[in-house]
Structure 1
Amino acid sequence: MAELLLCIGVLGVLGLAFWLTTDSDDDNGGGGLMQPALVPVRVRRNG
């Protein structure tokens, strides 16, 4: 039973490390979430 838990733990840690080190869709390739794009918004000024 201990061997099974150890194997699952090691595979989980390796999977998490692989997931965190893979490139994401952002420009710096460091993983994580993409940066939001800034979109210009037109403002109407009444006056």
Structure 2
Amino acid sequence: MNLKLVVTDMDGTFLNNEGTFDRESFHLLKNQMTEKDIKFVFLYGKTV
């Protein structure tokens, strides 16, 4: 499989209960994805 895109929801998936994320872990993963030309997208579906 040739992965091209990673998409994640923000609340409850990417962010923890406090609304934050582990920046160090994210930067490590982001660097690995960049090296492999994998795009990363955040989704936020709050209704207005």
Name the TM-score, length of structure 1 as normaliser: 0.33
More helix by share: 1
More strand by share: 2
Between 1 and 2, higher relative CO (CA 8 Å, sep ≥ 6) is seen in: 2
Name the TM-score, length of structure 2 as normaliser: 0.32
Q: Highest Rg: 1 or 2?
A: 1
